[in-house]
Amino acid sequence: MAVPTGTFQTYQAIGNREDLSDIIYDISPTDTPFMSNIGRTTASAVFHEWQTDSLAAASNANAQIEGDDATTNTAIPTVRFGNRTQIMTKVPRVTSTQRAVNAAGRADELSYQIAKSGRELKRDIEARATSALAADAGGAGTAREMAGLATWLFGNQVIATTNGTAPTTGTAPTVSSGAPTTDVASGTAGTFLESDLKTCISRCWDDGGDPTLIMVGAFNKRQASAFAGIGTQFRDVQPSATAPGTIVGAADLYVSDFGTHQIVANRFQPSNVAYVLDLEYWALAYLEPITQEPLAKTGLSDRVLLRTELTLEAQSPDSSGMIRTLTTS
């Protein structure tokens, strides 16, 4: 069908205003299940230290002769652990001109960038705290780095079963001055099996832990959904006129011989590790909390420094464990 001669269309028009929404869409994930569920404490030095203790093994032969002299028990010393604090920053910078113009979706570009940087910093903390990276003391030209979660779990780690081989305790990373100084090796990948999970939970329980959270990547979250011990694989949703009944497949709770454990997917942890955690014994120790301060102007722009210095405190590492070298696809 032809357009009548002389009809004026938008294609020829000059001066039509643009239609730009005042909403900025961003689906970048910001959920941090580890950081959000553990404790928070204070550090007072760049090498943050703490002590752990344990009771002597229970004995079924503690029987004494009537009237005998008391025998002194050998005292068990505490164990001293430590971790390096790590400085993390974000520095948004916006020109004075950009702050002056009328921008869609935000009243002030710098304020928008500060808020965005704060969310990014939170993700960085989660990624480092749940990593398999070791501590680094740093130096005059090298940044300090904290030891991540996986490096503390060498006591109760289970190597993923491969080709029918029984799960074994992995090699412990090197510890210097109470802090892990070697990254956790990857090794040959194996399937995430329920038997390995049971072994890990059992080891944590034997050591006095009560793990309530199992943290995995996306692929192994789906693997866990097929485990026989899943307690709430199906959740009933209230029926409606259009949907008489809806079934949602979500493996949220795993029931073992040692309790109920929540299974959570974590986007920022290593995808080849399943963490089995007693959250009571983990904390982030802040030497400096997350703060922001304007930096000196050096020209026609404004800068703001967002900073924090913190470390991961493993208050009792044997309360938790991990299954590592898992397949991820």
pLDDT for 307: 95
The arithmetic mean of pLDDT across residues 129-143, rounded, is: 94
DSSP 193-254: -HHHHHHHHHHHHHTT----EEEE-HHHHHHHTT-TTBS-SEEEE---SS-S-EEEE---EE
Count of domains in the chain? 1
Residue 88 CA, distance from chain mean position? 16
Q: Is pLDDT of 16 > 50?
A: yes
| Cα distance between residue 247 and residue 233, in whole Å | 10
Using an 8 Å Cβ cutoff, are 38 and 126 in contact? no
Q: Averaging pLDDT over each range in 68-77, 98-107, 135-144, which range is the top one? A: 135-144
Q: Is residue 221 part of a domain?
A: yes
pLDDT for 210: 95
Average pLDDT, the chain: 86
Neighbours of 193 (CB within 10 A): 17
| Cα distance between residue 105 and residue 102, in whole Å | 9
CA dist list (Å): 138 to 47, 142, 143, 328: 11, 5, 5, 32
Identify the domain containing residue 138 by its residue range. Answer: 33-49+80-324
The pTM (predicted TM-score) of the whole model is 0.85
What is the dihedral sign for C-alpha 37, 42, 47, 48? negative
Residue 71 is encoded by which pair of tokens?
A: 């025998």
Give the tens place of pLDDT for each residue, 259-318: 999 999 999 999 999 999 999 999 999 999 999 999 999 999 999 999 999 999 999 999
Q: Is residue 144 part of a domain?
A: yes
pLDDT band (50, 70, 90) for residue 246: very low
Q: Is residue 127 part of a domain?
A: yes
Using an 8 Å Cβ cutoff, are 214 and 196 in contact? no
How many alpha carbons lie under 13 Å from residue 317 in its C-beta half-sphere? 26
The arithmetic mean of pLDDT across residues 218-242, rounded, is: 70
- CA dihedral (209, 211, 212, 213) in degrees, to 10, reads 150
pLDDT band (50, 70, 90) for residue 158: confident
Nearest of 228, 279, 274 to residue 255 by alpha carbon: 228
Give the tens place of pLDDT for each residue, 257-270: 999 999 999 999 99
Neighbours of 312 (CB within 10 A): 28
Q: Is residue 143 part of a domain?
A: yes
% of the chain at pLDDT higher than 90? 59
Q: Is pLDDT of 321 > 60?
A: yes
Q: Is residue 61 part of a domain?
A: no
Total residue length of the chain = 329
- Coil, helix or strand at residue 32: coil
| Cα distance between residue 147 and residue 105, in whole Å | 39
Q: Is residue 11 part of a domain?
A: no
Q: Residue 303: beta bridge partners?
A: 93
